[in-house]
Each structure stands twice: as C-alpha cells, then as structure tokens.
Amino acid sequence: GQSLEQPSEVTAVEGAIVQINCTYQTSGFYGLSWYQQHDGGAPTFLSYNALDGLEETGRFSSFLSRSDSYGYLLLQELQMKDSASYFCAVRGDTGGFKTIFGAGTRLFVKA
C-alpha cells in the first residue's frame, strides 16, 4: 500500500524558516509533490521532486531523498499569508496515475 506521514501542526514566527517533513511508503515511486491549501480553498501545487536533491522556487524549496523515503518542504522568510495547510503527495507504481496525499501539516505563522 501507500502511506505518508507528516506532522499535524507547526507554528513559526513571521520572517523565520520552517521545515515540514514527510516520510512515505509506496510500491514504486514516481515523485513527491507538495501542495498548499488555505481554509476553504483548493490545493495549489507548490513543487515536485522526482530525483534526489533540492528544488528551489522562490521562498519555497523542496528536498527529496529516495533512499530514505523522505522529503521536506522548506519555507523561508515566512509571511502571515503562508498560514495554511501543506500536503505532501506521492504517486506510486499502481499503473493508473493515482496520487496519495498525506494528512496535511497545519502551519500557523505568528507576528
């Protein structure tokens, strides 16, 4: 089967850096994605890692280690608007493009 684990909640202050970890178990692996979701909104794609290493997109970076079945999302220069839920998601080798989402990490950014 497929499963993901990420912390349920993280709190940080404005301007700080926060890292949200994700460990996964899949049968086969085609990539780890990160999505942001504000309350009442739709998931918004942030980043995708298919290969080991760090991907940087502005204030957000994502890292993957396939040998450890582990990845993280790094948010820098936190802003109040970054308060949201962050989901890691994996696509495994089930043959049908199925993506499984983690339970989400609720990020609270304080002034």
Partner 1 sequence: EPEVTQTPSHQVTQMGQEVILRCVPISNHLYFYWYRQILGQKVEFLVSFYNNEISEKSEIFDDQFSVERPDGSNFTLKIRSTKLEDSAMYFCASSERWNTEAFFGQGTRLTVV
Task: Give the closest residue to 75 by CA, choosing from 51, 107, 52.
Answer: 107
Which amino acid is present at 67? Answer: S
Taken as a whole, the chain contains a residue count of: 111
For the bound state, the minimum distance from the C-beta of residue 50 to partner 1, rounded and expressed in Å, comes to 7
Given the complex with partner 1, which of 34 and 72 has the nearer CB atom? Answer: 34
Select the span of 20-28, 33-41, 54-62, 76-84 touching partner 1 (CB under 8 A): 33-41
Write the interaction track for partner 1 spanning residues 46-65; mark x where CB under 8 A is met and - where it is not.
Answer: --x-x---------------
- The residue within the footprint of partner 1, chosen from 58, 67, 96, 111 (CB under 8 A), is 96
| Cβ contact 64:53 at 8 Å | yes
What's the closest the beta carbon of residue 15 comes to partner 1, in angstroms? 28
Question: Residue 11: CA atoms inside 13 Å, Cβ hemisphere, count?
Answer: 2
